[in-house]
Structure formats: C-alpha cells, structure tokens
Structure 1
Amino acid sequence: MWIPIQLNEQSAEPMYHQIEVQLRALIVSGQLAEGTLLPSIRELAQTLKCSVITIRRVYQDLENEGLLRTKQGTGTYVAKVGDEMRDIHRRSSVIEALEAAVDAGVRVRCSDEEMMEMLRDILQRRRNANGT
C-alpha cells in the first residue's frame, strides 16, 4: 500500500517527526480508515528511504497514542479512532503548527497585531480559494 508521505530533507524537523505528523494526520482525517493494513516497517522504510528504526519508532509512538494496533504475525493496522480522540488530535496538530508559526514571527520580531493580521489574511485567501 502506498501512503502519501512527503519528506523534506532540508527541514530542521527530524525525519521520524515528519513521518509521524503526516501519518497521524492521515489517520485522524479518516484518509486511512479503521482496519487499514499499513506497509511493514521494512517496506515503508524502503519506500521513504529511511531507516527501519525510524519507522519502528513512528509505529510505536502512534500505537502508544491508540492510533495504530499491531497483530503479531499479521501486521500493523489503523485502530478505531473515536470522535473525541479525532478532535483532540485534529486540534493538537493545528496548535502545533500555529505555535511554530508564532515562534517564526517572534524570531523576526513581528508584533502580535502583525501576526494576527497575517493569520486573518491567510484565512481570507483560503476561503476565497475554496469559494466559501
């Protein structure tokens, strides 16, 4: 099975984190449905050109969060994600991205007002692009 994960080798984010964030988003958004069999650790590592240890860590982290389950001898599957858990993960991924954006703004000394204006502009552009 092909999983649409894109890695940025130039990113300061560790590879395992990039993979984990994207795989979590695919599960939480429902793009990977409950019961979906994921590629084996070796297979995904080969596809993404990274180490088996990296993928093992991602799978273990997501299993600890309750998003994946592993059956010995059969593989790793997407676990059932309830609405409450889905909302928690959905919100936390947006909060994490917003915190990174705020950190970037603070580093270049943007004021709170400038950052709020940028957020409003981005939201408006997205609404216009989506016709909403």
Structure 2
Amino acid sequence: MRIPIQVSAESAEPMYHQIEVQLRSLIWSGRLPEGTLLPSIREFAQELGCSIITIRRVYQDLENEGLLRTRQGTGTFVAAVGASERERYRVDAVIEAFRAAIETAKQVQCSREETIAIFERCLNQWMPRDAAKDGEEGGERE
C-alpha cells in the first residue's frame, strides 16, 4: 500500500517532521484505518527518499503516542483511535489553522471586519453551502 505522503528537501521543516505530521493526520482523519499495515521501515525510507533512521524515528514517535503498534516479525500497524479522540483532533486541527490565519491577519494589519470578510469569501469558495449539505468535504479546490 502506498501511503500518500509528500516530502520536500527544500522545506525548512526536517524531513522526519514532515512525514510524522502527515502520517499522524492520515491516522487521525481515518484515511489510514485501524489495522492498516504500514510499509517496512526500509521500504518506506526508499519510497520517500530518506534514511531508515528517519522512518524509524517517525514510527517510534507515533508508537509512543499510541497511534501505531509494532508486532515483531509481522510489521507496524495503525492502532485503534477512539471516536472522541478523533473528533477532538479534528476540532483542534481546525482551531489551530484558524489561530494561524488570525495571526497572519494581525501581522498584515487586517481589521477584524476584513478578516471576517476574507474568511467568508474563502468559506464560500472552498466549502459552498451545497457541498456542505451533500456531505462533501470542502477540501482542496483551486
């Protein structure tokens, strides 16, 4: 199974952090459900063009968080994530994104009213009312 993770050597973020953040998000969002077998450390490192040490660190960090479990001789699997934890993660992720957007608005000296207008314009563009009614996610449209 190919895990949809994108890494960039040009990013200011360390490669292990890029991988860990994306893998954590895939697990919390349910896109990698409980019991999913992840690639071996060696396979994943080769696929992403990074070192085995990088993937080992990601797997260990996520295992320490309880998101992964490793069975000797069998592999590394996505652990069970409770519905309440998943919901909390979803809400916290959106709150963090809003916090970052508000910080940016303050840095470029947008007023509260301008910020609300920009938010509503973006909401209408990327999450129109019809899509919300249909249960469609307002994901990545351009």
Query: TM-score normalised by the shorter chain: which range applies?
Result: 0.7 to 0.9
Aligned residue in 2 for 1:93: 93
Identify the residue that residue 26 of structure 1 maps to in structure 2: 26
AA aligned opposite 1:21: V
Residues 93, 54 of structure 1: alpha-carbon distance in 2 compared, 3 angstrom cutoff: farther
Flag the 1:59–1:120 CA change in 2: closer, same or farther, 3 A. same
How many pairs does the alignment contain? Answer: 132
What does residue range 1-132 of structure 1 map to in structure 2 within 5 Å?
A: 1-128=1-128, 131-132=131-132
Question: Which one has more relative contact order, counting CA pairs under 8 Å at least 6 apart?
Answer: 1
Q: CA deviation at 1:130?
A: 6.3
Q: 1:114 to 1:71 in 2, by over 3 A?
A: same
Shift of 1:52: 1.6
Scaled by the length of structure 1, what TM-score is found?
0.83
Q: Distance in 1 between matches of 2:19 and 2:99?
A: 19
Q: CA RMSD in A?
A: 2.1
Q: Percent identity?
A: 61
Deviation track 1:15-66 (CA, whole Å, cap 9, x = no partner) reads 2222112111211222111111100111111111112222112111211221
AA aligned to 2:33 is A
Q: Which runs of 5+ in 2 are unaligned?
A: 133-142
TM-score calculated relative to the size of structure 2: 0.78
SS in 1 for 2:70: strand
Q: How far apart in 1 are the matches of 2:71 and 2:22?
A: 23
What 5-or-longer segments of structure 1 have no aligned partner?
none
Q: Shift of residue 10 of structure 1?
A: 3.2
| Cα pair 1:16 1:54 within 8 Å, conserved | yes
Between Structure 1 and Structure 2, whose CA radius of gyration is higher? 2
